Chains A and B, each alone.
Chain A
């Protein structure tokens, strides 16, 4: 069964607005990663947050992690048309890591110019 669930499943916002998407997971993790997938393409890594971290920034991206609630959020600020894509969270569980990532079902983000 899927470890992660993203919320919302789809999100449409105006260019320039901020986009927030959430991820929940079920078991203990070592880290949580966010990936972007453009239509018909492979996944591109965005950011990795370790289980002992609470917040991380990378450019216009801000990720938070709450291990007590088993949840994470990805904030994209000042959105651009090029941010239109699907976003997935992925978790590496306690005894494993990148070889056995568990993905959520994704959030489809559409930026309206």
Chain B
């Protein structure tokens, strides 16, 4: 199993550009989430999904969209990139809600100039 795969690993965007961060898991996990990590702030939840076709907002959803058309994929879209979205983005998935751990991808380092 590859686990949770994020692409790309690095990305530089100009202000106003849009892009999609890809996340795929091959563990048949229902629960998937996107976090951003900024220095000194830990991880903050952007959006999450409890199954295909179901998504909801986390703590910092503004400027981001998600969809979950399949169990495996959970892409994160930046609609119009802003310098404040410069961050490291992590995708996570888990088999169940409370009894097991979350698995994280290796992250996407995004710089908006």
Q: Which residues of A contact B (CB under 8 A)?
A: 2, 4, 30-31, 33, 35, 40-45, 48, 50, 88, 90, 92, 96-106
Least Cβ–Cβ distance between B30 and chain A, in angstroms: 8
Give which listed residue, A96, A98, A106, contacts B96 with CB less than 8 A: A98
Bound: A44/B4 CA distance, A: 12
Whether B105 lies near A100 (C-beta < 8 A) is: no
* Contact partners of B50 in chain A: CB under 8 A: 99
Whether B40 sits at the interface, judged by CB under 8 Å, is: yes
Query: What 19 new A-B contacts, CB under 8 Å, besides A97-B96, A99-B48?
Result: A33-B101, A41-B106, A42-B90, A42-B104, A42-B107, A43-B104, A45-B101, A45-B103, A48-B99, A97-B94, A97-B97, A97-B98, A98-B33, A98-B96, A98-B100, A99-B33, A100-B45, A100-B48, A101-B43
Closest Cβ neighbor of A46 among chain B residues: B101
Q: Which residues of B contact A (CB under 8 A)?
A: 4, 31-33, 35, 40-45, 48-50, 58, 90, 92, 94, 96-107
Q: Which residue of A lies closest to B29 (CB)?
A: A98
Q: Which of A41, A88, A101 has the most CB of B within 10 A?
A: A101
Is the Cβ of A41 less than 8 Å from the Cβ of B97? Answer: no
Q: In the docked arrangement, what's the CA distance between A103 and B42, Å?
A: 6
Assess the A48–B100 pair: CB atoms within 8 A: yes
Q: Which chain A residues border B92 with CB–CB below 8 Å?
A: 43, 98, 101
User: In the complex, which of the residues A30, A45, A104, A105 contacts B102, with contact meaning CB atoms closer than 8 Å?
Assistant: A45
